[in-house]
Chains A and B, each alone.
Chain A
Amino acid sequence: MFTLLNLTNMITTGIAVLGFIAISAMFLIWWERKVSAHIQTRLGPMRVGWHGILQSVADAIKLLLKEDIRPAGADKLVWWLAPFFVVVPSVMAFATIPFGKTLIPKDLNIGVLYILAVSSVCVLGVFMAGWGSNNKYSLLGGIRAAAQIISYEVPLILSMITVVMYANTLSMQKIVESQSHSWNILHPNLALAGLIYITSATAEVNRAPFDIPEAESELVAGFHTEYSGMKFAMFFIGEYTNLFIISAIATTLFFGGWKGPLLPGVIWFLIKTYSIIYILMWIRWTFPRLRVDQLMGFAWKFLTPISFLNLAIAGWLLL
């Protein structure tokens, strides 16, 4: 039944999630800059606040005040709508991420399917940005991004299906419950699925070594070359929110979600999620970039067959 209580509940959850997204994105941008700096034996931002912790706040204010330049000949509507198509799906994906035992916006009975469906809309926004900008770099970046994201989506979905086969449910909360005794990642079959998941998820969010869509040395910034001001900030927020979401899904599906001794669930969830994010940052600043054909070849010739094989073995063992 739809009541006033539901409405209040909805609004508080929505505001909490939006606040979390903004703070988490700003924190992750600062953290990424610090991690990259220390890996390259630099210090990174140091001036604004303690070890530059307020740097992202300063950047946000700067971007808010920046002029918004629309390139001549841009496809106006497509160019303008692209940031919505990148950020709105990542906000929607939060609807079923289990932060704790009761701390979940809504435990949908099709949680895994819902997250897959919603988060794959992002590729549309990226391609719209590339097409709408009237810029050769953007178009090439957009097409590369689209091809890469859809190629890695196949092994990503297959590795998630392997977890579903063990848990017998699509609900995120029940998948966490099914890991009461041991984490999924400790099971040999699901460890392989987890490895495939992390690899393809890194490609899904266009991070090195799979960052050809925004390869700075050949494409300037790829699909968001022509964006400035708040629209550019939205692409950044979308990117770091997606980074959080893929790590949160990895935590839920493979690392036991919010389960852990002593500390409350939400703390465990955040520790695990941010540890995975840290590993992804570490990978980004350590490995060189792949070529386009190597990238596609890796998805279709290696990851896809191996995830099918893994799925077949999982089914055989379970029956």
Chain B
Amino acid sequence: MPQAPIVTDYSFVGSFFIFGIVFVAAAFIISWMLRPNDPNAVKTAPYECGEIVKGNSRVQFNVSYYLVALLFVIFDIEALFLIPWAVVFRQLGMISYIEMMAFIFILLIGLFYAWKKGIFQWQ
């Protein structure tokens, strides 16, 4: 059965997922059984250095964070294409190298454009 190693390999990975959850859950359950539980309004107030809380906590933040996230998505997907290429590029030869460099070059132009547009200038 050629499928067998994949099943055992990934059931192993799945077991690590379960062990991770068990690890955290066990710690929470043990602590839940042992700890005191006595909340009151002062205790549960959000921490603002001891001052009385002002306004909503979900404050507005700089738009640059969104732009950085967008930029990340582009480069992360590019990395997804680069990984399989990096494994086999010696067999594929010079053509694939030139193609990949053209691909990277186009993305770098995008990065340079974002740079000139001032994404990294934070006010």
Please judge, given known A-B contacts A95-B16, A319-B97, whether A304 and B31 are in contact too, CB under 8 Å: no
Compute how far the CA of A34 lies from the CA of B101 in the bound complex, rounded to whole angstroms: 47
- Complex interface: chain B residues within 8 A of A65 (CB): 31, 34-35
- Complex interface: chain B residues within 8 A of A13 (CB): 12, 15
Interface 9-mer from A46-54, A161-169, A248-256, A266-274:
A161-169
Please judge, given known A-B contacts A1-B4, A150-B69, A229-B31, whether A301 and B11 are in contact too, CB under 8 Å: no
Could you tell me the distance in whole angstroms from the C-beta of A48 to the nearest C-beta in chain B? 20
Number of interface residues of A (CB under 8 A): 86
The majority secondary structure among interface residues of chain B is helix
Please judge, given known A-B contacts A154-B72, A164-B87, whether A234 and B27 are in contact too, CB under 8 Å: yes
Compute how far the CA of A161 lies from the CA of B19 in the bound complex, rounded to whole angstroms: 30
- Complex interface: chain B residues within 8 A of A91 (CB): 16, 19-20, 23
* Interface: A71 (CB within 8 A): yes
Compute how far the CA of A85 lies from the CA of B4 in the bound complex, rounded to whole angstroms: 30
Once the chains bind, are B120 and A319 in contact (CB under 8 Å)? no
Compute how far the CA of A137 lies from the CA of B48 in the bound complex, rounded to whole angstroms: 8
Once the chains bind, are B79 and A154 in contact (CB under 8 Å)? yes
Once the chains bind, are A136 and B16 in contact (CB under 8 Å)? no
Once the chains bind, are A304 and B24 in contact (CB under 8 Å)? no
Please judge, given known A-B contacts A71-B44, A154-B72, whether A305 and B16 are in contact too, CB under 8 Å: no
Compute how far the CA of A36 lies from the CA of B28 in the bound complex, rounded to whole angstroms: 30
Compute how far the CA of A25 lies from the CA of B105 in the bound complex, rounded to whole angstroms: 42
Once the chains bind, are A304 and B111 in contact (CB under 8 Å)? yes
Q: Which residue from chain B places its CB closest to the CB of A93 in the assembled complex?
A: B16
| Interchain CB contact (< 8 A) of A113 among B69, B75, B83 | B83
Compute how far the CA of A220 lies from the CA of B7 in the bound complex, rounded to whole angstroms: 46
Question: Binary interface profile of B, 79-101, with partner A (CB < 8 Å = 1, else 0)?
Answer: 10011001111100110010011
- Complex interface: chain A residues within 8 A of B52 (CB): none
The majority secondary structure among interface residues of chain A is helix
Compute how far the CA of A237 lies from the CA of B57 in the bound complex, rounded to whole angstroms: 27
- Complex interface: chain A residues within 8 A of B108 (CB): 305, 308
Question: Binary interface profile of B, 30-56, with partner A (CB < 8 Å = 1, else 0)?
Answer: 111011111101011111110000000
Please judge, given known A-B contacts A67-B35, A293-B122, whether A92 and B16 are in contact too, CB under 8 Å: yes
Could you tell me the distance in whole angstroms from the C-beta of B85 to the nearest C-beta in chain A? 9
Once the chains bind, are B76 and A296 in contact (CB under 8 Å)? no
Compute how far the CA of A150 lies from the CA of B71 in the bound complex, rounded to whole angstroms: 10
* Interface: A157 (CB within 8 A): yes
Q: List 26 A-B contacts (CB under 8 A).
A: A6-B8, A69-B43, A72-B46, A73-B46, A73-B57, A84-B20, A87-B20, A87-B24, A88-B21, A89-B20, A108-B9, A136-B46, A136-B57, A143-B61, A151-B72, A153-B72, A154-B79, A157-B79, A158-B82, A164-B83, A170-B87, A220-B47, A230-B31, A300-B111, A304-B75, A315-B101
Interface residues of A (CB under 8 A from B): 1-2, 6, 10-11, 13-15, 17-18, 21, 63-73, 83-84, 87-92, 94-95, 105-106, 108, 112-114, 131, 133-140, 143, 146-147, 150-151, 153-154, 157-158, 161-162, 164-165, 168-170, 220, 225-226, 229-231, 233-234, 292-293, 296-297, 300-301, 304-305, 308, 311-312, 315-316, 318-319
Interface residues of B (CB under 8 A from A): 1, 4, 7-9, 11-13, 15-21, 23-24, 27-28, 30-32, 34-39, 41, 43-49, 57-59, 61, 64-65, 68-69, 71-72, 75-76, 79, 82-83, 86-90, 93-94, 97, 100-101, 104, 108, 111, 115, 119-122
